[in-house]
A and B are shown apart, each in its own frame.
Chain A
Amino acid sequence: GDSVTQTEGLVTLTKGLPVMLNCTYQTTYSPFLFWYVQHLNEAPKLLLKSSTDNKRTEHQGFYATLHKSSSSFHLQKSSVQLSDSALYFCALSDLSGSFNKLTFGAGTRLAVCP
């Protein structure tokens, strides 16, 4: 079945530094990848999505490129802010079916320090 693997656990960074959160996936179908961000006591919110190979997608300073050759969709930001502290989930859907069924990674907690 489908699976998503993310950078595990906690990533702690000082404000202003760059970040990359890894995401790799496995699927036999054509993939659609998502990054969701979940702040404390809130529901996950969509941050980025892509199904296009080798095309960078950006939103709110975050960016990611789907690389089908390496089955990856790493999330990056050039300069993290305190408000970026949250849980980040990479998720996979396949284009053959509905978009209801997402397979989530285990989540990566990003903590940004002053």
Chain B
Amino acid sequence: GALVYQYPRRTICKSGTSMRMECQAVGFQATSVAWYRQSPQKTFELIALSTVNSAIKYEQNFTQEKFPISHPNLSFSSMTVLNAYLEDRGLYLCGAPSGNTLYFGEGSRLIVV
């Protein structure tokens, strides 16, 4: 079956520092990966869509300068939250489609202190 692993599960970082998270697809080829953020209020925001060998598409309010993404092959993607502040708190989810379904990793929770 299709599985998505994400790590680290949880990071506590000091305000102004950065956090890198990784996403691994197992059992299928992740030609594209979607990065979401779930806020403390539990709403989802799409950050960007990443497709191998294609430009990464960022949603409004999210930029490459703040959330650089790497997607070098069909099983791996990473995203960094640069200069994290309180408003960046939340659960960051990577999702990869297999067939007509988007499968999520377990999420990387960012806590900023």
Enumerate chain A interface residues (CB-CB to B < 8 A): 32, 34, 36, 42-46, 49, 51, 87, 89, 93, 98-102, 104, 106-107
Interface centre among A93, A99, A100, A107 (most CB of B within 10 A): A100
| B106 at the A interface (CB under 8 A) | yes
Enumerate chain B interface residues (CB-CB to A < 8 A): 6, 32-34, 42-44, 46, 49, 91, 93, 95, 97, 100-107
Q: Is the CB of A34 within 8 A of B101?
A: yes
Q: Closest Cβ of chain B: how far from A51's Cβ, in Å?
A: 8
Q: Closest Cβ of chain A: how far from B24's Cβ, in Å?
A: 14
Q: Is the CB of B102 within 8 A of A45?
A: no
Q: Which of B42, B102, B105 contacts A102 (CB 8 A)?
A: B102
Tell me which residues across on chain B come within 8 A of A46, comparing CB atoms.
101-103
Q: Closest Cβ of chain B: how far from A25's Cβ, in Å?
A: 15
Kindly list 16 other residue pairs between chains A and B, CB separation below 8 angstroms, not including A45-B104, A106-B43. A36-B104, A42-B107, A43-B6, A43-B104, A43-B106, A43-B107, A44-B93, A46-B101, A46-B102, A89-B44, A98-B97, A99-B101, A100-B97, A101-B34, A106-B42, A107-B43
Q: Is the CB of B97 within 8 A of A104?
A: no
Q: Is the CB of B49 within 8 A of A87?
A: no
Tell me which residues across on chain A come within 8 A of B44, comparing CB atoms.
89, 102, 104
Q: Is the CB of B43 within 8 A of A32?
A: no
- The chain A residue with its CB closest to the CB of B30 is A100
Could you give 9 example pairs across A and B, Cβ below 8 Å?
A34-B101, A42-B106, A46-B102, A99-B101, A100-B32, A100-B34, A100-B97, A101-B34, A107-B42
